[in-house]
Amino acid sequence: MSAPSVLIVGCGDVGGRLAEQLLACNWQVSGLRRNIGKLPAGVAGIAADLFDARCPDGWPAQAPDYLVYSAAASQHDEAGYQAAYVEGLKHVLGWLAERGQKPKRLLFVSSSSVYAQQQGEWIDETSVTEPQGYSGTVMLEAERLALASGIPASIVRLTGIYGPGREWLLSQVRQGYRVTQEPPLYANRIHADDAAGLLAFLLKADAQGRALEDCYIGVDDAPAALAEVVAWLREYMGVTQWSEQERVRRTGSKRCSNARARALGWAPQYPSYKEGYAAILAGNDSV
């Protein structure tokens, strides 16, 4: 039996980590992005612009077994999100239709921004989605497009991704970052390796014939109040000064559950911010 094949559309940070994990399991991996020179070794590159409706020359002649749509907006406004997540997905689905190709499953990488809860509520895949900002609204539109594509699809709503190269909070803490303590502002995280690991786990589960749900939340085991995370990082990093600026406030506060993914058998390598940030700071974050 030949190894499964996967096409990762938007093969950037998380997509690249996913590619490496699947290559290690002998999957055939293709990656679509503008600059294929940045793809991991072993990935068959497809140079393409998702904003261009024309099918790229390097599109595979045979349908990939699996399609992962993991694009990232290059322009962080409503137009940029619409182009990357809705129009881009429409183009990819059109390219498949042109060639009569139908993968076994589509994984669409979405965001927890589709949830607007702000009172520290626990959120799961069945929670109401009433986004108030353009990011969540556009993501929800793209999710519905994926689910209506005619291809069996699962949505993966990732929470705040952190990891090497995604160290904004560490930088802020070093500068004496102040955050609101009461009421607690809960934040949700997933290490980039775990984000890729969840996608890989779902693909392998489907390939093994296991039934997948149409939506999963990608988050670690321990949503935590931002003040708690900052306090732990300050102690771990030996930061003693505080910023003279006013305490920084942020909107939104919810706690996302990974119970559905865990029930399928997935477990994060970094179960909380402590393990994840400690690995980054120690420089041994690679899988």
Q: Is 114 within the bounds of a domain?
A: yes
The answer to whether position 104 is within a domain reads: yes
| pLDDT at residue 16 tops 80 | yes
Residue 26 pLDDT grade (very low, low, confident, very high; cuts 50, 70, 90):
very high
Considering only CA atoms, which of 42, 38, 46, 39 is closest in space to residue 22? 42
Instruction: List beta partners, residue 178.
Output: none
Question: Is residue 284 predicted with pLDDT exceeding 90?
Answer: no
Structure tokens at 19: 């590619």
Query: Predicted confidence band at 285 (pLDDT cuts at 50, 70, 90)?
Result: very low
Residues 6-32 have a mean pLDDT of 96
Is 77 among the domain residues? Answer: yes
- What is the mean predicted confidence (pLDDT) over 55-65? 93
Spell out the long-range contacts of 164-169 with Cβ–Cβ below 8 A and sequence spacing 24 or more.
164/192, 164/280, 164/285, 165/13, 166/13, 166/192, 167/280, 169/229, 169/230, 169/233
- Backbone dihedral region for residue 26 (phi beyond 0: left; psi -120 to 50: alpha; all else: beta): left
| Residues facing residue 105 across a β-bridge | 66
pLDDT, average across residues 119-137 = 93
Mean pLDDT of the chain: 92
pLDDT per position as a tens digit, 179-221: 888 888 999 999 999 999 999 999 999 999 999 999 999 999 9
pLDDT in tens, 88-100: 999 999 999 999 9
Range of the domain at 265: 5-282
CATH number where 265 lies: 3.40.50.720
pLDDT (0 to 100) of residue 243: 82
Q: Is residue 23 part of a domain?
A: yes
pLDDT band at 271 (very low <50, low <70, confident <90, very high): very high
Q: Would you say residue 43 has pLDDT above 80? A: yes
Residue 70 in any domain: the answer is yes
Q: What is the pLDDT of residue 244?
A: 75
The pLDDT value recorded for residue 286 is 43
What was the pLDDT predicted at 1? 58
Res 74: pLDDT: 83
In a domain, 107, yes or no: yes
Looking at the domain assignment, is residue 225 inside a domain?
Answer: yes
Number of domains in the chain: 1
* Closest CA relative to residue 36, chosen from 53, 27, 48, 22: 48
**Tens digit of each residue's pLDDT (9 = 90 or more) over 146-161:** 999 999 999 999 999 9
DSSP states of the chain: -PPPEEEEES-SHHHHHHHHHHHTTT-EEEEEES-GGGSPTTPEEEE--TT--SPPTT--SS--SEEEE----SS-SHHHHIIIIIIHHHHHHHHHHHTT---SEEEEEEEGGG----SSEEE-TTS-----SHHHHHHHHHHHHHHTSSS-EEEEEE-EEEBTTB-HHHHHHHTT--B--SS--EE-EEEHHHHHHHHHHHHHHHHTT----SEEEE--S--EEHHHHHHHHHHHHT-----SSPPB--S--EEE--HHHHHHT---SS-SHHHHHHHHHHT----
287 belongs to a structural domain: no
pLDDT for the residue numbered 248: 60
